[in-house]
């Protein structure tokens, strides 16, 4: 996915898409790249954090009522930050969770990192949401709580 950071798809974006396509790689222009990237972050905040904290793959995690609610709370906070930034509008969190549930027993990247003894990417995922939440006046208590729990795992288990 390629797009102009300010929105739209100019000549440079078209050139990049063509370059990747000529190299045999799938490429697509996205006029709303900031929204696309933020929505991926919204999913990662909820799915990655809860999968590690509960040691669960996607489908069982989203079939568990409490885990699903945790995912929804985290995603909602991240979404509110994106809305305050003007990056995203109204988004149906439950629809995003239902779409993610189709992934069956997939392990999130963060869960894979934990299992392989690698450092968890909590700063670029949850830390970014906390930092931007502060900057834009959006409280993120659930994301902060998950960040702290993941940070303890990151320093004690690795």
Whether 40 is catalytic is: yes
**Terminus-to-terminus CA distance in the chain, angstroms?**
33
C-alpha triplet 88, 122, 34: angle, nearest 5° = 20
In the numeric block, the tokens 């974006």 are attached to 13
Greatest extent of the chain over all pairs of C-alpha atoms, in Å? 48
* Residue 83 tokens, joined: 């809305």
Give the span between the Cα atoms of 91 and 80, in whole angstroms: 10
Residues with catalytic annotation? 40
């Amino acid at each position: 996915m390629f797009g102009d950071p300010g929105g739209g798809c100019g000549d440079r974006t078209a050139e990049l898409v063509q370059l990747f396509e000529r190299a045999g790689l799938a490429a697509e222009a996205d006029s709303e790249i900031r929204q696309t990237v933020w929505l991926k972050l919204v999913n990662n905040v909820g799915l990655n954090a809860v999968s590690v904290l509960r040691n669960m793959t996607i489908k069982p995690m989203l079939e568990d009522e409490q885990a699903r609610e945790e995912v929804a709370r985290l995603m909602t906070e991240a979404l509110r930050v994106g809305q305050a930034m003007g990056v995203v509008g109204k988004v149906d969190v439950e629809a995003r969770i239902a779409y993610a549930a189709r992934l069956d027993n997939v392990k999130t990247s963060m869960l894979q990192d934990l299992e392989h003894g690698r450092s968890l990417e909590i700063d670029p995922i949850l830390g970014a949401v906390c930092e931007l939440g502060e900057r834009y006046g959006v409280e993120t208590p659930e994301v902060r709580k998950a960040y702290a729990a993941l940070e303890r795992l990151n320093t004690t288990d690795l």
